[in-house]
Amino acid sequence: MAEREQIRKPSPSNREQTVEAAPAATERSTEINDQLDDLLDEIDEVLESNAEDFVKSYIQKGGE
Amino acid sequence: MAVPKTVGLETEYGIVHRGISEPNPISASSMLINAYLIALQPSPAPARGAVGWDFTEERPGHDARGGAPPDAQAPQIETHLVNAVLTNGARYYVDHAHPELSTPECTDARSVVVYDRAAELIAVRSMASAELLLPEGEEIVVYKNNSDGKGNSYGCHENYLMSRSVPFSRIVTNATAHFVTRQIFCGAGKIGIETAGMRVDDIGYQLSQRADFIEEEVGLETTLKRPIVNTRDEPHADAAKYRRLHVIVGDANMSQVATFLKVGTTALVMALTEDDAVGRELRFVSPVAALREVSRDLSLRAPLELEDGSTITALDVQWELLAAARAYVETRGTEAVGGDITPVVLSRWESVLEDLQQDSSKLASQIDWIAKLRLLEAFRERHKLAWSDARLRAVDIQYHDLRPDKSLAARAGLETLVDEAEAQRAMSEPPTDTRAFFRGRCLQRFAAEVVVANWDSIVFDVGEGSLRRVSMPEPNRGTVRHVGDMFEGCDSAIELLRRLGVTHA
């Protein structure tokens, strides 16, 4: 972490850009993570409750 | 000269009958389809019921290479099972132990997406209709996938109308190059591996559901020793003018973008083939091994050996085909490859290849194998699971569950290309720009007089002691433009036949 901060130590002009860019990027990734979390919650809810039995019994005949 | 690409899909669905001790997939499939057909009928159902399929013109054993090798297995036609023609021009039937729905003939990739989505909605309504007829505690569930994870596969076939004059060997070369590599955007994704001699856990995840089941380069079979290029020569049209390329190598897609690209790019590559415009021929040293390697290489960087001694990646094959397709469209236009939709196919093809090249995770809302992988990885991380965990396999199967309240694909944020209202209309309305229009209108208006129908003919019984067959050897005739007026103010089948000039069988 310390190392990263050191590398990032910006020149004054870079610092401005960094400050501007960071919140937007964080917001977006938080949003994506929230969406994924919601999706995972939903999968937990609708996924076949006894996955083992479900997968075992999913047997099809070859077709075509 | 490339002929306009009439195209269509035939999808075999996985089926599960829950709540009974000894489920029979054949009777479950019959029940599913009959439930749908019964629900369509005004009650009480008329004596004749649904219009059936006419098998007299079926020739699935004809081989495009001429004489078939002696060990070739001609497909069996099961004429005794449920087999219906729908008013949208589609065929809905039991094939082997699966419900299968063939879309009506379409003229472009977008139209195929509309009718493929309509087919899903028909399956959804079939499940709901079956539920009303089944005892409490029983349910029939339909899955749009191609493998049960235990070594059994069922197909989603594509069909492309082609000129009879194109040498079949040229089709084989170019189709192979495309089919081996298009998996990078057409693959539906699968956990594990089902190739004989390997354990199912030897591979965590692969791009395609089907690659494990493809064992030959070229052949007539569809149920065993499946080939990359299928030689079934049964054009369902004027055989002197046309071939039908019957493609069995592909996956069924949940993503509309994937279906759109699968059909759109293949129609282009086949038109290029007819006009000998592909450029350099790409021949793999071992096409079957290459197909499997591409499916198992999530990095998309595996070098594939070519006969000239060089190597190439799947992505670079696709870039070459895209460049050839662009050049083709610039000089020859879009008439043979789907008209106004073609520029949309080309631009989507390009943007998807770009994203695959840079960062495939960008395509989680467009490409099935990537969408599914995202779900699996996130779910795996949340619950700290091994790839072999049954819950991950359940996620894989349930991605393809067509029940709206269970489908994981429906929750994965996939981009749609057609609106739901259009797909709902397409459940009963035929396309207007192929002979499916004539077939569909006849069934909408005069179903009581239609004895049987198939892709290229309809037989009427108008009660004068003889049956009358209307032939439709031209897939691009019988459109609203050709025959739409004939249905105006026409109140009987006999009047329609008179207007068509059909007076005898």
Using CA coordinates, name the residue in chain B closest to A56.
B390
Q: What is the mean pLDDT of chain B?
A: 93
Check whether B191 has a pLDDT greater than 70: yes
Q: Alpha carbon of B410 to those of B4, B16, B365: distances in Å? A: 33, 19, 11
Cβ contacts of A32 on chain B, cutoff 8 Å: none
Provide the shortest C-alpha distance from residue A22 to chain B (in Å): 20
A15 pLDDT above the threshold of 50: no
Residue whose token pair is 């290479």:
B65
Whether the per-residue pLDDT at B390 is higher than 70: the answer is: yes
Query: Residue A8 has what pLDDT?
Result: 39
Domain ranges of chain B: 7-425, 436-500
pLDDT greater than 90 at residue B36: yes
Contact B48, B448 (CB under 8 A): yes
**Angstroms from B151 CA to nearest CA on chain A:** 8
- Cβ within 8 Å, pair A51-B406: no
Partner B contacted by A40 (CB < 8 A):
yes
Backbone phi and psi for residue B141, each to the nearest 5 degrees, phi listed first: -120, 140
* Partner residue opposite A36 with nearest CB, options B222, B378, B406: B378
B444 touches A: beta carbon within 8 Å: no
Give the integer Cα–Cα distance in Å for B153 and B143. 12
Average pLDDT over every residue of B105-114: 98
Cα separation, B308 vs B319, in Å, equals: 19
| Count of CB atoms situated within 10 Å of the CB of B300 | 19
Tokens of B359: 């960062």
Q: Count the neighbouring beta carbons within 10 Å of the beta carbon of residue B293.
A: 18
Q: Are B391 and A51 in contact (CB under 8 A)?
A: yes
Distance of residue B16 Cα from the nearest chain A Cα, in angstroms:
7
The interface predicted TM-score of the complex, written ipTM, equals: 0.90
B301 interfaces chain A, CB cutoff of 8 Å: no
Chain A residues touching B411 at Cβ < 8 A:
39, 42-43, 46
The model's pLDDT over B43-59, given as tens digits with 9 standing for 90+, comes to 654 445 578 888 777 88
pLDDT at B81 over 80: no
The CATH label, of 3.90.930, 3.30.590, 1.10.3470, 1.10.1760, for the domain at B7-425 is 3.30.590
Q: Which residues of B are catalytic?
A: 95
- How confident is residue B166, by pLDDT bands cut at 50, 70 and 90? very high
Shortest CB distance from B150 goes to which of A51, A54, A59?
A59
* pLDDT tens, residue by residue, B221-242: 888 899 999 999 899 999 999 9
**pTM: predicted TM-score of the whole model, two decimal places:** 0.91
Query: How far is the C-alpha of B121 from the C-alpha of B137, rounded, in Å?
Result: 23
- Which residue in chain B is spatially nearest to A59 when comparing CA positions? B148
How far lies B478's CA from each of B163, B485, B487, in Å? 20, 11, 11
Q: What ranges in chain A are assigned the alpha helix state H?
A: 2-8, 12-46, 51-57
Q: How confident is the model over B294-325, as pLDDT tens digits?
A: 999 999 999 999 999 999 999 999 999 999 99
**pLDDT tens, residue by residue, B435-481:** 999 999 999 999 999 999 999 999 999 887 889 999 999 999 999 99
